[in-house]
Structure formats: structure tokens, C-alpha cells
Structure 1
Amino acid sequence: MAADGLLQQARLLQLASPALPVGAYTYSQGLEWAVESGLIRDEASAGRWIADLLAHGIGRYEAPLVFALMTAWTAAEPTTIRRLNDEFLASRETAELRAETAQMGFSLRRLVRDLRDASLNGVGETVETLPEVAFPVVWAGIAAAWKIDPSAALTAYLWAWAENQVMAALKAVPLGQASGQRLLAELGGRIPDIAVDALNLPESEWSNFTPAFAIACARHETQYSRLFRS
């Protein structure tokens, strides 16, 4: 593989890394309440919860949204980028979820400036015009500017989300490290098909209809004792 291709792989690993300074590790997206309520109590139930949300929520809305955003960034279509940003913010079912994506988007927007990478100048200029920017919007902009293959980008985006959920389960259930690796192996095996489907899903068929997830996120807002911010 040519050096340019290897550089894109390295950049993608950077984008998908838990070390990305956006605070993702502080959020559980309702998983903590699912543990508190008894819906998640062991490795098997954690796997079912995360896999269902990956397939029916993240995979059918966030993933195709990221692909559409990468396409818009590549084609320099700021109107589409703004529309998708507004729609994603409006799609957040609870105050915590909206605050989560806005905080992570704000942090990633700041990172665009701090990286001092000339290839990201266009991304920085566009996101600075948005009063509130969602995390996937900035993430997709960086991926497009770094010329990362969309299928690889979606795979990494889904993996990063799944890894964060598993890490939350390890802390909240709690589970052991071996359980976490088994869960990641199982989820990782599902991600390629979900990514391919997302690449081909028309916008008219996008859906984040996951009622149990929405209820868990809403209940988390009044949970008495918690480790996570969502």
C-alpha cells in the first residue's frame, strides 16, 4: 500500500481512538439506567442491548448520516451540512443526548483549530458559522478532509461507538476485561454488514425509532446515583 493510503489509515485510527479529546467516555447513552433498572445485568444482556441499538438505531440513522455528511463535505455543500446538523440536533430524544452531541461537537471543533492542519481549514471555517454543532458533523468533516474512504470511516465510527458502550458496561454492570473483549469481538463481526447497509440506505429510510433507548435516556436524567453524564 502506498504511503498516502497508510497515512489515511493512521488518521482514521486517530479519529476513532478513545484518546480523541471529546469526552466520549463520560457518556453511557442510557446504558447506565438500563443497568440500574435490571435490563442489563450480565454479559449476555449487555451484548443484546448494545447490538440492538447498533443495528436499529446507530446503524440506521447516525451511520448513513455520517456518510451523507462526508459526501456533502467533499462536494462543498454547506447548505446540506447545516440542514443535516439541525436535523441531527432535533433528533436527540432527551436534553442529555442533545447536550452530549453538542459538547462533543464543540470539543471536536476546538480540536480542528488546535491541530493547525491546513487541510482542515475549510472544515473549521464552516463549523465556526454554526451556533451549535453536532459531533457527527465535525467528525465527518475531518474524515472527508483527510480523504478517508467512506466505508472505512463508517466502520471506524460504528466501532468507536460500540467500544464506548462496552467500556460503559464494564464500569456499570460491572463486567471483566475478558467479557468486554468477547462483546467487542461479537459486535465487530456485525459492523461490516451494518456499515455496508448504511452506505446504501436512502435518506427517506433513515430511522432512529428505538423507544427503549429513548426511555432509558430520559430516565437517566433523574437517576439518583450515576457515573455517567447520559
Structure 2
Amino acid sequence: MSLPLVRLLQLSTPALPVGAYTYSQGLEWAIDCGRVSTEADTGEWIADVMRESIASFELPLAGALMQAWQAGNDVEIARLNDDFLASRETRELRAETVQMGYSLTRLLLELDTFSALDGWPERLRAVDTPSFPLAWTAAATAWQIPARDALPAYLWAWLENQVMAAIKAVPLGQSAGQRLLSRLGAEIPALAQRAATLPEDDWTNFNPGLAIASCKHETQYSRLFRS
């Protein structure tokens, strides 16, 4: 097993201490209002968000960030980070990526495997308000993880977190969760391949249902999750 693969597993594990498990990205409101109540509903909701938002905007942006980190283009890195922060349509979604970006940045600067790499700590510290994809791609690039492996893993980590949230909140059984991961995970290779070559003019996170769910969640009376 190669070291970059080990580092990729470290980045994509639910044990990564960035607080991802505390967020549902609007899914909790969809459950609370009855839109999502079964395994089939859950799969439909998560699949729509994955295809129409994460894989069509966040994932190609992550790929572009990796290219910019590799090329040493810190101006482009800052632009992409600002664009991602501006794309967050609600207070909760912006707070989520800022908190996770801060936590991952802090962790990376404490790890010898990152902080000892020449120039990388300084480049990461120089970014104002690092988002989660910015910090994640900094680690992936510094640890020499190929984008062809990093992008599917990034999407898988997002999918796994959504399914784990659904298991808690719908609630679903563990077997149902594994069925969802098996079925939806099968889409990841094609989505990641498309994201790697998608022109920036075609990036889109137009998903009104997700934005409404996130807005509604901000004033939801009883909540397990922070988004």
C-alpha cells in the first residue's frame, strides 16, 4: 500500500476531527417536515443533492483547488475559496464550511506530516477564512494524493456523512444505510470523472430545495444537527 493512499484514508475517515458528524446540510429539516421518512425518500434526497450540488460545484472546485495548490498559484486559491464561501446560500451552510475549514487547518498545522513540509504551513496560514474544501485539498496536494483518487474520496466522505445523519434522524437501520451507500456510491466514479474536467462556466449548485431546507433548519424548534 502506498503512503498517499494511507493519507487519503486519513482524510476521508469519519474519525477526522472536524465536526462533520454534527451537520446534516438541511436533511434534518426534510425529515422533520415529512419530506424524507423512508429509505427510498432518503436515497432520493441525498442523490439529488449529490448530483445537483456537490458533484456539480463543490467537487470541480476542489479539483481546481488541487491544481492551484500544485501550481503554486495562491491568488487563484484565494479566489476559489472566496467563490465557495460566497456560494453558501444560508448562514448555517457558511458557518459549517468555515468551522470545518478552521478545524482541519488547525489539525494540519499540528501534524508533523504536514507542518514539516517546506512552504505548506505558510501557504495555508496565508488564506483568509479557509473553507473546508480549501484545507482538505491543501492536505491532499501536499501529501501527493492524485486528484483521480482524491475527488472520489471527497465525494464518498460527504455521502457517508449524509447517510450517517439519516441513520440517526429518520431513523434508518444500519443495513439500510449500507444499501444506500452501496447504491449511491456506485455513482461516484462517473461523477468524479466528470467533475475533474468540467469547465468552470458549467459549475452549478442551483438547488432551491436544499437552500430552503437549510433556511428552515435555522429556525427549527428541535434539532440534532447544526445545519
- Structure 1, residues 186-212: CA drift from partner, whole Å, max 9, x if none? 111010110000011000100000000
Counterpart position of 2:225: 228
Displacement, 1:121?
A: 4.8
1:49 aligns with 2:45: yes
SS where residue 154 of structure 1 aligns? helix
- Structure 1, residues 66-111: CA drift from partner, whole Å, max 9, x if none? 0000000000000000000111001001000000000000001101
Aligned-partner Cα distance in 2 for 1:83–1:182:
39
Gap regions ≥5 residues in structure 2: none
SS where residue 186 of structure 2 aligns? helix
**TM-score, normalised with respect to structure 2:** 0.97
> Aligned-residue CA RMSD in angstroms?
1.0
Q: Is the 8 A contact 2:124 2:138 kept in 1?
A: no
2:30 to 34, 39, 62: 34
1:153 aligns with 2:150: yes
1:83 to 71, 79, 84: 79
SS where residue 187 of structure 2 aligns? helix
Q: Is the 8 A contact 1:109 1:124 kept in 2?
A: no
1:184 aligns with 2:181: yes
Aligned-partner Cα distance in 1 for 2:121–2:43:
37
Aligned-partner Cα distance in 1 for 2:83–2:91:
15
Aligned-partner Cα distance in 2 for 1:75–1:128:
18
Aligned-partner Cα distance in 2 for 1:121–1:28:
36
Q: Is the 8 A contact 1:8 1:147 kept in 2?
A: yes
Matches within 5 A, 1:1-230: 6-117=2-113, 118=115, 120-230=117-227
Task: Assess, with a 3 A threshold, how the Cα gap between structure 1 residues 119 and 143 changes in structure 2: closer, same or farther.
Answer: farther
Q: Is the 8 A contact 2:66 2:141 kept in 1?
A: yes
Displacement, 1:128?
A: 1.3
Displacement, 1:29?
A: 0.3
Gap regions ≥5 residues in structure 1: none
Q: Is the 8 A contact 1:33 1:217 kept in 2?
A: yes
Displacement, 1:20?
A: 0.5
Q: Is the 8 A contact 1:30 1:217 kept in 2?
A: yes
Identity %: 58
SS where residue 227 of structure 1 aligns? coil
**TM-score, normalised with respect to structure 1:** 0.96
Displacement, 1:149?
A: 1.1
Give the letter aligned to residue 197 of structure 1.
Answer: R
Displacement, 1:116?
A: 1.8
Aligned-partner Cα distance in 2 for 1:75–1:8:
19
Aligned-partner Cα distance in 2 for 1:11–1:90:
30
